[in-house]
């Protein structure tokens, strides 16, 4: 095995008052690359995502996914002692991340402006629903609500039923932008000496993902149609029935369409039919186009249809399940699976998708609630007796 390159964020300390998905996703990626992430949780129940479900050896599937390689410190931030401990941590931290309820950070003087006055070298990162300023700054925002407010649900699902995406894409988008923003801020601090604050709103993160339909709507005079698994502005694109299942295919240009008509549909003249000769024409006549294709694909097994599409170099795939994903040959063949310990036992975990040559990301355990409290307090100079008193007072 090749020598392991040092993790790029080794030596960086992140303190995070986080919950749910967006902020924990950002900090987990920092932990993957070697940052020390101290996760501050409520003493009574911790991050409420711990109890979304109990499917992974008694732990939440969300929590196991988002919180490996972190240290769990329980603190009552409403108490003077808890706040004092947090301030001691922040005085030597590099990054502070929070996604508290609207207004909560400011009430505790944990907003970016207050923190930078006290700790000029600290990089604060605020993750909120609609931003820290503006008319919606005081509104709670969860993934489904943001998918609705951003217009994404109006584009998703079948024509008769607006739908949300099956995963928390607003949270994931915000977490990704928080992660990249923090990396940019760390680089800026390293090269200029100036610590910049990072702010990410779920609504604006998903708004970035809405760029194409937003342009289409503003300059086209109407928004893209809701077409389920098909594409509003490309055809053919989507699922088609086979003799024993479903095949997915996508044609991106007229050259591919011509080859598809000749080799798959068996009739080259279809490619020059005025209804189908251009992508915009195929979109306009989508039902007729799909009917022609479906008539042919129903004559083939899924395996035969995929083989024929491969032969003509038409992009294709299967309509898989989550179980199919878990056993997908691409993941197994590229050695993408690792193991991470949870409080209840080992679980599989995927490598992060960004591959740094020579770097194996961390897969330290998912922490039990408060698992690192005593050790962290010891580092801060608290004696066993003092820690006992904090526990008696229910501060930790």
Classify each residue of 341-352 as buried b or exposed e, where b means 16 or more C-beta atoms within 10 Å of its C-beta. bbbeeebebebe
Does the pTM surpass 0.95? The reply is no
Tally the residues of the chain.
396
Report pLDDT digits (tens) over 296-343: 999 999 999 999 999 999 999 999 999 999 999 999 899 999 999 999
Q: Is 111 a catalytic residue?
A: no
3-state secondary structure the chain: CCCCCCCCCCCCEEEEECCCCHHHHHHHHHHHCCCEEEEEECCCCCCHHHHCCCCECCECHHHHHHCCCEEEEECCCCCHHHHHHHHHHHCCCCEEEECCCCCHHHHCCCCHHHHHHHCCCCEEEEEECCCCCCCCCCCCCCHHHHHHHCCHHHHCCCCCCCCCCCCCHHHHHHHHHHHHHHHHHHHHHHHHCCCCCEEEEHHHHHHHHCHHHHHHHHHHCCCCCCCCCCCCCCCCEEEEECCCCEEEEECCCHHHHHHHHHHCCCCHHHHHCCCCCCHHHHHHCHHHHHHHHHHHHCCCCHHHHHHHHHHCCCEEEECCCHHHHHCCHHHHHCCCEEEEEECCEEEEEECCCCCCCCCCCCCCCCCCCCCCHHHHHHHCCCCHHHHHHHHHCCCC
pLDDT tens across the length of the chain (396 residues): 344 568 999 999 999 999 999 999 999 999 999 999 999 999 989 999 999 999 999 999 999 999 999 999 999 999 999 999 999 999 999 999 999 999 999 999 999 999 999 999 999 999 999 999 999 999 999 999 999 999 999 999 988 888 999 999 999 999 999 999 999 999 999 999 999 999 999 999 999 999 999 999 999 999 998 888 999 889 999 999 999 999 999 999 999 999 999 999 999 999 999 999 999 999 999 999 999 999 999 999 999 999 999 999 999 999 999 999 999 999 989 999 999 999 999 999 999 998 888 899 999 999 999 999 999 999 999 999 999 999 999 999
Residue ranges per domain, the chain? 13-211+332-393, 237-318
Check for a shared fold between 13-211+332-393 and 237-318.
no
The mean of the pLDDT values for the chain is 95
Report pLDDT digits (tens) over 2-33: 445 689 999 999 999 999 999 999 999 999 99
Q: What is the pLDDT of residue 159?
A: 85
**The tokens of 327 are what?**
């056993």
Q: For domain 13-211+332-393, which CATH number applies: 3.40.50.10540, 3.30.420.10, 3.40.50.880, 3.30.420.40?
A: 3.40.50.10540
Of the candidates 32, 76, 111, 171, the residue annotated as catalytic is 171
- The CATH code belonging to domain 237-318 is 3.30.1540.10
Residue with tokens 């904090």: 390
């Amino acid at each position: 095995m090749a020598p392991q390159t040092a993790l790029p964020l080794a030596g960086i300390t992140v303190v995070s008052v986080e919950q749910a998905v967006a902020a924990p996703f950002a900090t987990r990626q920092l932990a993957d690359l070697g940052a020390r992430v101290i996760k501050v949780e409520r003493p009574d129940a911790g991050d409420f995502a711990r109890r979304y479900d109990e499917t992974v050896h008694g732990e939440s599937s969300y929590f196991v996914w988002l919180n490996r390689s972190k240290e769990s410190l329980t603190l009552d931030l409403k108490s003077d002692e808890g706040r004092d401990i947090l301030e001691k941590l922040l005085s030597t931290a590099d990054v502070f991340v929070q996604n508290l309820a609207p207004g909560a950070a400011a009430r505790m003087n944990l907003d970016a402006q207050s923190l930078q006055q006290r700790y000029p070298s600290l990089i604060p990162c605020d993750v909120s629903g609609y931003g820290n300023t503006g008319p919606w700054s005081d509104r709670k925002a969860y993934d489904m609500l943001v998918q609705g407010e951003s217009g994404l649900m109006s584009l998703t699902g079948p024509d008769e039923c607006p739908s949300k995406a099956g995963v928390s894409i607003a949270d994931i988008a915000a977490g990704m932008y928080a992660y990249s923003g923090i990396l940019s801020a760390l680089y800026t601090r390293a090269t200029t000496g100036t610590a910049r604050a990072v702010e990410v709103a779920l609504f604006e993160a998903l708004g970035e993902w809405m760029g194409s339909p937003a342009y289409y709507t503003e300059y086209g005079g109407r928004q893209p149609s809701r077409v389920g698994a098909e594409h509003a502005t490309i055809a053919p694109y989507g699922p088609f029935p086979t003799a024993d299942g479903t095949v997915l295919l996508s044609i991106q240009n007229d050259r591919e369409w011509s080859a598809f008509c000749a080799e798959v549909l068996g009739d080259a003249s279809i490619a020059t039919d005025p209804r189908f000769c251009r992508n915009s024409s195929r979109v306009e006549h989508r039902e007729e186009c799909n009917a022609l294709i479906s008539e042919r694909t129903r004559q083939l097994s899924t395996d035969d249809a995929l083989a024929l599409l491969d032969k003509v170099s038409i992009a294709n795939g299967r309509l898989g399940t989550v179980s199919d994903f878990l056993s997908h040959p691409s993941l197994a063949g590229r050695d993408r699976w690792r193991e991470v310990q949870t409080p209840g036992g080992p679980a599989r975990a995927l490598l992060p998708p960004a591959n740094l040559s020579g770097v194996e990301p961390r897969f330290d355990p998912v922490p039990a609630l408060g698992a690192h409290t005593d050790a962290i307090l010891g580092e801060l100079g608290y004696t066993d007796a003092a820690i006992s008193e904090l526990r008696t007072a229910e501060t930790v």
